Amino acid sequence: MTAPLIELRHLGKSFGAVHALKDVSLTIGRGEIHCLAGENGSGKSTLIKVISGVNQPDRGEILIDGEKIENMSPRQAIARGVQVIYQDFSLFPNLSVAENLALSTELQAGKKLVSWRRVRQIAEEATRKLGVALELDALVETLPTAGKQLVAIARALMSDPRLLIMDEPTTALTGREVEALFRVVRDIQSRGIAVLFVSHKMREMLEISERITVIRSGEVVASGDIGDFDEARITRAMTGQELASEGYRWEGDPTAPALLDVQGLTVPGQLDDITFALKPGEIVGVSGLLGSGRTELALALFGMKRGYAGEIRLSGRPLRLDGVQAAIAEGIAYVPEDRLTEGLFLAATIDRNMLATSHDRLSRFGVMQNGQAARESEEMIREMAIATPTGNRPVTQLSGGNAQRVVIGRWLMNDPKLLILNGPTVGVDVGSKAGIHRKIRELARARGLGVLMISDDLPELVDNCNRILVLHRGRLVAELEAEATSEADLSTRLGALQ
Amino acid sequence: MSGLANALRRHPELMVAAVLVIAVLAIGTINPVFWQPSNLFSLLRASVITGILALAVLLVMLSGGIDVSFPAFAIAAMYLTVKAMIAWQFDGVLLPFLMASSIGLALGLVNAVFVHYLRMIPLIVTLGTGTAVRGFILGVVGTSQINIDQMPPLLIAFARGEFFSVTQADGSQAGLSSMVLVYAGLAIAVHLILRHTMLGRGIYALGGGEEAARRVGFNTRRITFVIYGLAGALAGFAGLLHGAMIWTANPRDMVGLELDVIAAVVLGGASIFGGRGTVIGTMLGVLTLVVITNSLIILGVDTTWQRVVVGAIVIAATAVTAWRDRKRIA
């Protein structure tokens, strides 16, 4: 029996007091597509760095072709055939595709002068190896993400690798592009090149890989043939908990007056005669394709569509929402889709972010009451279970899930009546996602908060809402009871709209 | 529309070439004196110093940095060299230029140390070194202007050289300064480095992404030192040449010149975000700036408006490059 391509035995790696890898053993065979699964912070990135020689392990050994390798440097790793395609691709946007493909080869060859004919030849050879045509003269920045990724793959293939590590390769790709990528990956595999696919997307792992290794907190928690795994098992292994997904049942009084009553809401060219109501404690989902008017609806309710027609009533009182200030004053809160650019002050601390909408309330004669502010922020950090020892840390240190809780928590400090969430768990990993969902349900139930949840993630809507509105081209085309709707129903319905 | 942006991305010099042609035609139509060889030659001569300094700025800007210290370095190299020549009673051409370039090189390397090892923002570093060097020259070396009576004669004679002359319609002779050839030679050298050496491609790569450049295998430290060193050497060279061409060594000269030079480079299509720009574009940018600002006089516009024009060019050129690069920023 020949030795496996690469074998990692009991690897351990610490950075100061943090044990990034505790005990990881992993074997990748020749030409195998292996999936490395784990949540953010599970040690995936460190493991990639160890395999590619960027970091040296503290304990354990690395064997390539059965031969033990001590103190492997990045150069040695490349010489042994290990190539990494980073999530950011590490390409030069300002240079042509041809030059991007040729630069590393030229540098490895120790060239001092550039022959543009050779650059061209190298680039042509690279596209031949990839088996996909690339426009060699285009500047890389003009390519779509999938195109850039192909350039990165072609470049990696130039050094005749035997193991290609792809870090979260599908994050920015559309469904069709993912399929095209998988074709390329299978083609690479058919040439005997092994691929280590690093991901946290279940469906893709199940589709592409032959074997899977799941790590959590720096340890291998499950591994084996992909046939032995399903989504539930991978999730369980990644998060270490059973994530219940029973639907949200609204137990409010059906005869109670509506909290939010929208009549004939129209924004020319964006929303067309939308009418719906929402009772206290209800979580109502909003679904629709991109451009259906979902986000516009949220913005209109948050006072950001000045010229709207129709009537919006909150607790029976008609409102004129002509600005964000007016919406906030009425108790409407909005958590935007892109929390990094729209929802957080990245340069500020967690506390400052938490208190961002409470300044007026916490000020007396224009002077901020610092003691009370600190107390309230601390309370909310505890209530939202944000993982930080103190609110005095930069908000950028938080993971995606925790950052999202800061944005939600901020609004809760002012006791809103209506909470509008746009993509509440985009970019958040499975474990924290469940935590956020739990929190939202709790808030709706305990505080009688009305929640409007906009999402692309169909299971998220089906599991957490009691009702789902479907928008299409600015019109409300369906209103579904979540209990009687499955993810597949919703998916078919949306598909039919296309 | 995006097709135009792409064309500008690929050929940054297109825009400036169009602007130059329009400017020349407009000025020449308003006042035909513009077409006289003596005027055209003097415009070319006037673009030599700005041009060499622009080559230095281009190198730094391509790597994603910016340099505002070069006028100070140029003046320091010029003043120190001329002072030394007078003190040692030395006259010549080659050695003094070597000395001025070396002074510039050394100062440029100081910039590189701050930028590379301390990871400081180039604008702040060069603001600091430029101000400090100027202060040092005025405070320690001297404040007095060295005039033609004291300037080394061989140096002056070198800068007065002409390689081409024509007889104009009125019978007078118009000559083209040989310094234009010096400028052209340096431009060709910088072009060859940028276009045909791995070092040059490394400068573009650095401007495209420092981390990516390192991962591909470029020695980013060496590249940074070469960029700032070369830029300093070019500035030192230009400083002495400037003194020789105006027959004066004035330690308070070239104040505010950084804006003109940066304007010319940006006008030439270089991106202030790095990674984009060409020597030919930069040369056209310099020529355009020189033509427009110098022609205000023959157009009968008060010279005080020159600064307004320079400011407007900076804003207009940056606006166009920002529009061209907007996708990248977003």
- Domains of chain A listed by start with CATH number: 6-239 (3.40.50.300), 260-496 (3.40.50.300)
Q: Please give the structure tokens belonging to residue A439.
A: 């929190």
Report the CATH fold assignment for B2-329. ABC transporter involved in vitamin B12 uptake, BtuC (1.10.3470)
Select from B201, B208, B218 the Cβ nearest to the Cβ of A93. B208
Give the pLDDT of residue A1: 55
Give the pLDDT of residue B330: 36
Q: Chain B contact for A141, CB < 8 A?
A: yes
What's the one-letter identity of residue B155?
A: L
CB B249 within 8 A of CB B151: yes
Give the pLDDT of residue A117: 93
The DSSP code for A54 is: S
Residue contact B208–A94, C-beta within 8 A: yes
Give the pLDDT of residue B1: 44
Give the pLDDT of residue A498: 64
Residue contact B205–A95, C-beta within 8 A: yes
CB B299 within 8 A of CB B88: no
Q: What CA–CA distances, in Å, run from A146 to A170, A200, A456, A480, B113?
A: 9, 19, 21, 36, 39
In A357-396, where does DSSP find H-type helix? 370-383
The mean pLDDT value for B100-107 works out to 98
The DSSP code for A71 is: S
At B286, the pLDDT band (50, 70, 90 cuts) reads very high
Give the pLDDT of residue B190: 97
Contacting residues of A for B208, CB less than 8 Å apart: 91-95
At B89, the pLDDT band (50, 70, 90 cuts) reads very high
What is the spatial distance between Cα B156 and Cα B82, in angstroms, rounded to a whole number?
A: 11
What's the one-letter identity of residue A33?
A: I
Contacting residues of B for A110, CB less than 8 Å apart: none
Model confidence pLDDT, tens digit, residues B12-34: 788 889 989 999 999 999 999 89
Give the pLDDT of residue B301: 84
Identify from B62, B195, B198 which residue to disrupt to test chain A contact, counting A C-beta atoms within 10 A and taking the largest count: B198
Give the pLDDT of residue B249: 94
What's the one-letter identity of residue B261?
A: V
What is the spatial distance between Cα A207 and Cα A214, in angstroms, rounded to a whole number?
A: 16
What is the spatial distance between Cα A353 and Cα A376, in angstroms, rounded to a whole number?
A: 13
Give the pLDDT of residue B178: 94
Residue contact A90–B216, C-beta within 8 A: yes
Q: B301 or B198: whose pLDDT is higher?
A: B198
What is the spatial distance between Cα B231 and Cα B110, in angstroms, rounded to a whole number?
A: 12
> What is the chain A residue with the closest CA to B197?
A113
At B189, the pLDDT band (50, 70, 90 cuts) reads very high
Contacting residues of B for A91, CB less than 8 Å apart: 208-209, 212
Strands across the sheet containing A211-216 = A67-69, A59-64, A6-15, A18-28, A219-225, A211-216, A33-37, A194-199, A163-167, A82-85
pLDDT higher than 60, residue B329: no
Give the pLDDT of residue B141: 92
* pTM higher than 0.80: no
What is the spatial distance between Cα A282 and Cα A242, in angstroms, rounded to a whole number?
A: 25
Q: Chain A contact for B201, CB < 8 A?
A: yes
Give the pLDDT of residue A410: 85
Residue contact A95–B328, C-beta within 8 A: no
Identify from B193, B201, B278 which residue to disrupt to test chain A contact, counting A C-beta atoms within 10 A and taking the largest count: B201
Give the pLDDT of residue A339: 63
Q: Chain B contact for A92, CB < 8 A?
A: yes
Contacting residues of A for B216, CB less than 8 Å apart: 90, 103-104, 107
Select from A92, A108, A142 the Cβ nearest to the Cβ of B205. A92
What's the one-letter identity of residue A229?
A: F
Give the pLDDT of residue B10: 73
Beta partners for B24? none
Give the pLDDT of residue B328: 47
How high is the mean pLDDT of chain B?
91
Contacting residues of A for B206, CB less than 8 Å apart: none
Beta partners for A80? none
The DSSP code for A278 is: E
CB B73 within 8 A of CB B239: yes
CB A459 within 8 A of CB A452: no
What's the one-letter identity of residue B255?
A: V
Residue spans of beta strands (DSSP E) within chain B? 162-167, 173-177
Domain ranges of chain B: 2-329
Q: Chain B contact for A486, CB < 8 A?
A: no
Model confidence pLDDT, tens digit, residues B53-66: 999 999 999 999 99
Q: Chain A contact for B5, CB < 8 A?
A: no
Q: Please give the structure tokens belonging to residue A2.
A: 């020949």
Residue contact A112–B198, C-beta within 8 A: yes
Contacting residues of A for B271, CB less than 8 Å apart: 94
* A128-A130-A135 Cα angle (round to 5): 75
Give the pLDDT of residue B296: 86
Q: How many interface pairs between A and B have CB atoms less than 8 angstroms apart?
A: 66
> What is the chain A residue with the closest CA to B196?
A114
Low-confidence ranges of chain A (pLDDT < 50): none
What is the spatial distance between Cα B69 and Cα B52, in angstroms, rounded to a whole number?
A: 14
* A442-A446-A449 Cα angle (round to 5): 85
